[in-house]
Amino acid sequence: MCRNIKTLFNFAPPATEEEIRAASIQFVRKLSGFTKPSQANVEPFERAIEDVTRVAAALISALVTNAPPRDRDVEAARARARAAKRFG
């Protein structure tokens, strides 16, 4: 369920709002234990997603590093290579 949560800090270009929201949705799904809440839980589920998105965006914008930004394409190629080695 949480495989879509990726590192979002120190990339060029920076993480988009959509990427941060997608990671937040996965996080809330993992915590709650379900992918789609019942009607009784829609409001707290959505509120949690908004809260996590807001806090995650604040965290990412506040972090500092001296390391050069990572390239998304290079990191994606590395991930594909690891997956090919792992899964054949």
The pLDDT tens digits of the residues spanning 36-57 come to: 999 999 999 999 999 999 999 9
Angle between helix 17-32 and helix 42-62 axes, rounded to 10 deg: 130
Give the pLDDT score at 84.
93
Q: Where are the beta strands (DSSP E) in 1-88?
A: 11-12, 70-71
For residues 52 and 43, what is the distance between their CA atoms, to the nearest angstrom? 14
Quote the distance between the C-alpha of residue 38 and its chain's center.
23
For residues 38 and 42, what is the distance between their CA atoms, to the nearest angstrom? 6
SS3 content of the chain, % helix, strand, coil (to 5): 65, 5, 30
Give the pLDDT score at 32.
95
Low-confidence stretches of the chain (pLDDT < 50) are none
Give the pLDDT score at 88.
81
Give the pLDDT score at 4.
63
* pTM of the complete model beyond 0.85: no
